[in-house]
Amino acid sequence: MRYILRKLLLLVPVLFIVTFLTFILIHLLPGSPCISILKTNATPANLAKCTHQLHLDRPIPVQYVDWLRGSFTGHLGQSYLNDEPVSTVLAQSIPVTLELLIFSQIMAVVMAVPLGILSAYRANTRIDRVATTAAFGTLSIPDYVRGVVFVFLFAVTIHAFPATGYTHITDDFVQNLRSVFLPSLALALGSIALYHRVLRADMIATLQEDFITMARAKGLPTWWILVRHAFRPSTFSLVTIGGLNVGALIGGTFILEYLFAIPGIGFNTVNAILQQDYLVVQGAVLIVTVGYVMVNFFLDLAYPLLDPRVRHARAAA
Amino acid sequence: MPAPPPDATETTSILPGAGGAEAPSGVLVEQAPLSGAGGTVLTPAAADRSRRTLGFTFWLSVSWIGLIVVLAVIAGLLPIPDPKAIEFQPGLNPSLHHLFGTDDLGRDLFSRVIYGARVSLTVGFFSILFGLVIGGILGLLAGFYRGVTDGIVVGLSNVILAFPAFVLLIAVVSFWGPSLLHITLTIGILSIGPLAVVVRGNTIRFAQREFVMAARMLGAKNSRIIFREILANVVPSGLALGLVSVPVAIVAEGGLSFLGLSVRLPTPTWGNMIAEGRVILTQHPGVAFWPALFLFLTVLALNLVGDRLTAYFDVREGAL
């Protein structure tokens, strides 16, 4: 309980700074933000309206509090392109990005866990070396390069998957899966390599433990020891890395959504940037950053559930 | 002066593998117990890394990096065409005159790839250099003085690490304007967090060692202890981690370029060449292929070198 409280106390300042920095982004624009936001529409009347709407005539701390209060109730301003509220744009694109993220992580875990266990069990044999080298190589290929290669191989050459576009899940389930398969795979490969590496390292350490020797002495089958005894204590770093990896994954979705024209949050943000629709960008950055902080917060809370040793270590400290 | 705590961060055990009959015997596993104090997770270094040799692939990678850096620096002196000049027949195959052929507009691809390397390497090395200097100083001070200084530096690092880096990079660059300087600085600031954490950790470790105490007994001032005793010891691991961060920065800049948020066309960068080439993959595969290959090889080489050195100098905490 104290652990949770301490984590909560740390969460508050981090959220404060993160939201403040997101808020202050708009002041990085050269000149008055409103001139950049309105562009050719910057008539004196419009400027005054915009200045008032963004509370730019108030001191910065007041602006921040107002902006934060607004964002809690979903008022993040409007897109200057089509007057659509930023919150609507985000609400439509978040599920798409989540689908991509979840799908890619399912792929990654399904492939990385067996590979990692196998690599650790057969550490330093040929199969482990092949897997480790492949993982290392994969980590050196940026996801946009993977994406381009996949488009070339699977979409342009053999037409197995669509090169761009997104079918909504309620329209056609199979088509939906086909449309997110390539970007998810491009995203997943990096995670597979990373998770394999981390799980292998932890698993090798776990396999040296006395309780594993004990389990072997009892005559338990190897697969049972690997899956039931060794796997869970070896997932500690995996969860940490998984949480930290969410940041990289979100970065990856920005590029891959753009490459595959999948209308998620990344695609919309990049398009908003290219069309200088700043309030959409700011809203998206806010949602993504706060989401990332929260994911890592909940993962922190999950450690004690995962590994009782943490509970005791924290209690003893 | 409190007695230095026993160096409990590592226990080396030489045990036969317990996984099964065929598990390798004599695996050297460095096992790190869960550290309660720092809250950091230490992953055991892989067995084959602990050997204190650098090896053939290491030197091969160093050569590649050296070659690319030299080519990028002296690009202006090389007998290659102007990377922006549209003066050749489009879509030429590789030949002695055009090592990588020409693109769809008739520009020399070898020249474009070499000039593209300039952007990637500038951003990659200078951003991390910036992060290393600032993060290194902050980490040294935090690890040496502890207390309030430590709290501030750790807090700052945590805030930087709390952002999804690439998203923040995109956001800052789009609001601030895409220039080489802005991109380099933003990546540099983002890299302060992890680099400061590592330097801090190592400083704490070395600050408790006997030679530091001896210097203190001899009446050395704090500044002397920091710069003459500790600095030299934290530099190798810091540099190694910096080197692992360079490819991350290069990939990030490539991503920005790919999205059209970095240096604009017609100035070539690896990222914008790949973006340019992806729509004409079937007609002119070389346009995307060559920069992608160079990007891959450079990142791979930097990763290999950094990974080797990290194991060599035994960096334990954090990564970008």
Give A210→chain B minimum CA distance, Å.
Answer: 9
Residue B248 in this model has a pLDDT that exceeds 50: yes
Q: Please name the residue ranges forming H helices in A122-172.
A: 126-139, 143-150
Is the confidence at residue B8, as pLDDT, over 70? no
The answer to whether A28 contacts B31, with C-beta atoms less than 8 Å apart, is no
Q: What is the pLDDT of residue B220?
A: 83
CB-neighbour burial class of residue A44 (10 A; exposed 0-12, middle 13-18, buried 19+): exposed
In chain B, which residues have their Cβ closer than 8 Å to the Cβ of A237? 41, 43
Contact residues for B206 (Cβ-Cβ < 8 A; gap 6+):
B212, B229, B230, B233, B234
Separation of alpha carbons B17 and A225, rounded Å = 14
**What's residue B29's pLDDT?**
33
Q: Does ipTM top 0.90?
A: no
B24 contacts in chain A (CB < 8 Å): 123-125
Output A294 or B27, whichever has higher pLDDT. Answer: A294
With beta carbons under 8 A apart, name residues in chain A contacting B37: 317
In the prediction, which pLDDT does B312 show? 77
Query: Would the CB atoms of A292 and B163 count as touching at under 8 Å?
Result: yes
pLDDT at B52 over 90: no
Chain A residues 8-37 with CB within 8 Å of chain B: 10, 13-14, 17-18, 21-22, 25-26, 28-30
Q: What digits encode the pLDDT tens for the residues B137-185?
A: 999 999 888 888 888 888 888 888 888 888 888 888 888 888 889 899 9
A-B contacts at Cβ under 8 angstroms: 191
Q: Residue A292 to residues A14, A250, B9, B154: CA-CA distances in angstroms?
A: 12, 9, 30, 19
Q: Residue B36 is nearest to which of A132, A212, A314, comparing CB atoms?
A: A314
* Least confident piece of the model among A223-227, A311-315, B8-12, B202-206: B8-12
Q: B223: distance to nearest CA of chain A, Å? A: 32
Interface test with A, best of B12, B248, B259 (most A CBs within 10 A): B259
For the cut 90, the answer to whether the pLDDT of residue B134 exceeds it is yes
Residues in B closer than 8 angstroms to A200, CB to CB, are 46
CA distance A213 to chain B (A): 6
Dihedral over Cα of B18, B24, B25, B29: its sign? negative
Residue A95 near chain B (CB below 8 Å): no
Neighbours of A221 (CB within 10 A): 11
Taking Cα atoms as reference points, which of A148, A284, A308 lies closest to residue A233? A308
Is the whole model's pTM more than 0.90, yes or no? no
